[in-house]
Amino acid sequence: MALKGDLSTIGLGEVFQMISMSQKEGTLVVQDGESRKAIYFGKEGVQLLSTGRRKGFRIGDILVRAGKISQEKLKEVLDRQKTSKRLLGEELVNSGHVTRKAIKDVVLAQIEAKSYVLFVWKLAAFDFI
């Protein structure tokens, strides 16, 4: 399924609907200037990658804001993470400071927030690969 265009001529909701109805696996790349988001549609679900200037909050910051972990504990875990080379979520769960569900909820919220931003990009180009 070849799907390519400009969000000034078709809405992102319509693009998502076409991809969903076709039930195809692939990556939707949306680019607006220096910012680029790639949304992978697969059998296991949806994944989002983001590059460019428009960045969201990091997992640790979100957990601190939500009261799931203190800033001091987060700093301890971040320091440990530098040597363990594990993902922050893994390190937080292994340390017992945060549950796996809390990490999953934060990651899901990140994906949703980053996806919603796409709906205000009016001059962006998209390509489904």
Q: Which residues of 87-126 are buried (b: 16+ CB within 10 A; e: fewer)?
A: ebbebbbeeebbeeebbeebeeebbeebbebbeebeebeb
DSSP code per residue over the chain:
--EEEETTTS-HHHHHHHHHHHT--EEEEEEETTEEEEEEEETTEEEEEEESS-----HHHHHHHTTSS-HHHHHHHHHHHHHH---HHHHHHHHTSS-HHHHHHHHHHHHHHHHHHHTT-SS-EEEE-
> How many percent of the chain have pLDDT more than 90?
16
The arithmetic mean of pLDDT across residues 83-89, rounded, is 87
pLDDT at 129 over 50: yes
The arithmetic mean of pLDDT across residues 27-53, rounded, is 76
| Residue spans per domain, the chain | 3-128
Residue 12 pLDDT level (bands cut at 50, 70, 90) = confident
In angstroms, the CA 16 to CA 8 distance is: 15
